[in-house]
Structure 1
Amino acid sequence: MSISFWVFTSLIVLLVFYLLAWGTQVRRYTSSSTVANAYDSWTNDRLLEQLWGEHVHLGYYPDLGRGIDFRLAKIDFVHHLVRWSGLDQLPPGSRVLDVGCGIGGSSRILSREYGFDVIGITISHAQVQRAKELTPKDLLCHFEVMDALDLKFDQSSFDGVWSVEAGPHMPDKQLYADEMLRVLRPGGVLAVADWNSRESVTGIRSGFERFVMSQLLNQWAHPDFATIHGFRQNLINSRFSGGFVDSEDWTKFTLPSWIDSILEGFRRPGAVLSLGPGALLKGLREIPTIVLMRWAFANGLMQFGVFRSRG
């Protein structure tokens, strides 16, 4: 076996001991406030923004990541999902909702490059404030604090609904699907991308797999992961479903993002060091979960699902 395999395996073992030594419930999900507090913290210290730019989500790598810039891969991801979902077939001026908008990176692309009138919502007050600061005044792009499971919009309010990597924070996946489809007009376009757990015929996982899953849930305030099939069924079973629902597994296209997200700290050391020692320690604190995420996606424990539907 290659040296890189043994190095990666040794790193996994060391990280397991690290997590066991430092505890496993720092960000365990207890309520929506757990999620809000986590994102407020990540936004206020500017660590993720300094390292990864305006997009916290994964990137799209069509050629296994060779020669692709990490930040450009994130932008490419937005365009690939827009085209795959059919959102690009909506005319300029269409009203689009971005559910779990972060600091507005995708919302700004949807508004600036596709001409959509975008409303981004997130449960984090800090993210909304930062999104507003980063958004030019001339863009049709606005942001509000709102719970995705209780959208304050009328039925059929939007021509398109967009949501990237927000689902794992939702304790009720059916309600998450229902609310997005409820506000989507008949014939409108839904585009969703999420981290999903593996389909299991037996439902049996090894001890190490159970440990990894507990970390992926508890370290980043996730109540649970849906499976690709499970969330597709949530969309199909919704009383607001228009009938058409499709899904794909984009794990191979997004997998390089995990290691790239760590390497950015070495490519841009000044981005971390300029924020002070606290940010450096916090950055190091995130590495074990990122490595375990990469292991889970590379070994089939997790999958990256994309979903498209019509209202």
Structure 2
Amino acid sequence: MISSTQPATRDDVARHYDQLDRFYREIWGDHVHHGLWITGRETSEEATRNLMDAVVAKARLSPGMELCDVGCGYGHTSRIIATEQLVKVTGLTVSPAQQRYAVSATPPDLPATFLVEDWLHNERPTAAFDALIAIESTEHMADKARVFSEAARVLKPGGRMVICAWLANETLKPWQHRHLIEPICREGRMPGLGTQTEYTSWMTSAGFQVEDVQDVSPQVSRTWPICAWRFILRTLRRPSYIRFLLDPKNDNRIFALTMLRLWLAYHTGAMRYVIFSATKS
């Protein structure tokens, strides 16, 4: 695993998303995850929906199931799943700003609950869920082995797990490590990025049977040039963006540069995006 040179605690991750709350939603929307371009002609909204649909298909949901969304963000994905798949969703985030927005945007009759809770120390009951998804959240957790042992604990026997993960290439060049992956970890408040081999090993050790590993890196990489361009345009047009970038109290303003690193990391193959599907044995 490629580790950050700067420790990233739960509070660091929460502050990252709280400080960047408005920027994430204005630049990319409520999903807060990559888009998946299948035809290459999709809008960014259609692409983010494609990724969600891929996760839902792999989770094999059916009405009446209970789903845990680990790292639910603003709850947009959870709300759509609860509405369309007729399942009960429990979404977890470490960001109070995200949780407040998720609760405020959720109709009272929708079976979707959002909690501020650290997955590594979660209070979910054992064998409570039929399925679990984690879309780009495991990167923020230091103890990756515990991520999956907790998933195995809260899932029922035969329960499904779908993980969308940012990964480091198995064979990084030294310059890619130094100038791309490690800074991305540090600036994105991620303790470290694992590899495909490591993720598979952690899942297997936790008692999962890994059934599918899909590398969609080329299909998601367009996310970051779009984000970077939108950020540049808004910075030129909105004084509030400039004030945010110049304010030393906003220690997450460096993420403006991270977007460019991510763009280059995908372009050079230093970074990969993989969707894992697994079943609890």
- TM-score relative to the length of structure 2: 0.89
| C-alpha deviation, 1:137, in angstroms | 1.7
Question: Matched residue pairs, number?
Answer: 273
CA distance in 2, matches of 1:93, 1:278: 48
| C-alpha deviation, 1:260, in angstroms | 1.4
1:29 aligns with 2:3: no
| C-alpha deviation, 1:115, in angstroms | 1.1
* Equivalent of residue 188 in structure 2, options 202, 215, 220: 220
Deviations 1:52-90 (A, max 9, x none): 111111000013x3x32112211121002221x1x2x33
CA distance in 2, matches of 1:278, 1:48: 17
* Structure with larger Rg: 1
Instruction: Give, as a single letter, the amino acid of the residue that structure 1 aligns with 2:162.
Output: A
5+ residue gaps, structure 2:
none
| C-alpha deviation, 1:275, in angstroms | 5.0
1:55 aligns with 2:37: no
1:81 aligns with 2:55: yes
Higher strand share: 2
> What SS does the aligned partner of 1:149 have?
helix
Contact kept? 1:96, 1:116, Cα under 8 Å? yes
Contact kept? 1:196, 1:305, Cα under 8 Å? yes
> What SS does the aligned partner of 1:259 have?
helix
The Cα RMSD (Å) is 2.4
Deviations 1:29-59 (A, max 9, x none): 342211111112222xx12112211111100
Equivalent runs, 1:15-164 vs 2, <5 Å: 28-43=6-21, 46-63=22-39, 65=40, 67-83=41-57, 85=58, 87=59, 89-164=60-135
Deviations 1:231-250 (A, max 9, x none): 01110111xx2434431211
CA distance in 2, matches of 1:167, 1:296: 19
| C-alpha deviation, 1:126, in angstroms | 1.5
Deviations 1:131-181 (A, max 9, x none): 111112221111001111122122211011010101111111100111112
* Equivalent of residue 222 in structure 2, options 250, 256, 266: 256
5+ residue gaps, structure 1:
1-24
Instruction: Give, as a single letter, the amino acid of the residue that structure 1 aligns with 2:140.
Output: H
Contact kept? 1:59, 1:75, Cα under 8 Å? yes
Contact kept? 2:139, 2:193, Cα under 8 Å? yes
Q: Could you say which residue in structure 1 is the equivalent of 2:267?
A: 298
Instruction: Give, as a single letter, the amino acid of the residue that structure 2 aligns with 1:62.
Output: I
Equivalent runs, 1:166-245 vs 2, <5 Å: 166-200=137-171, 205-238=173-206, 241-245=207-211
Q: Could you say which residue in structure 2 is the equivalent of 1:19?
A: none
CA distance in 2, matches of 1:251, 1:32: 27
Cα–Cα, structure 1 residues 211 and 245, in superposed 2: closer, same or farther, change >3 Å? same
> What SS does the aligned partner of 1:137 have?
coil
Identity %: 26
* Equivalent of residue 238 in structure 2, options 259, 268, 273: 273
CA distance in 1, matches of 2:99, 2:11: 15
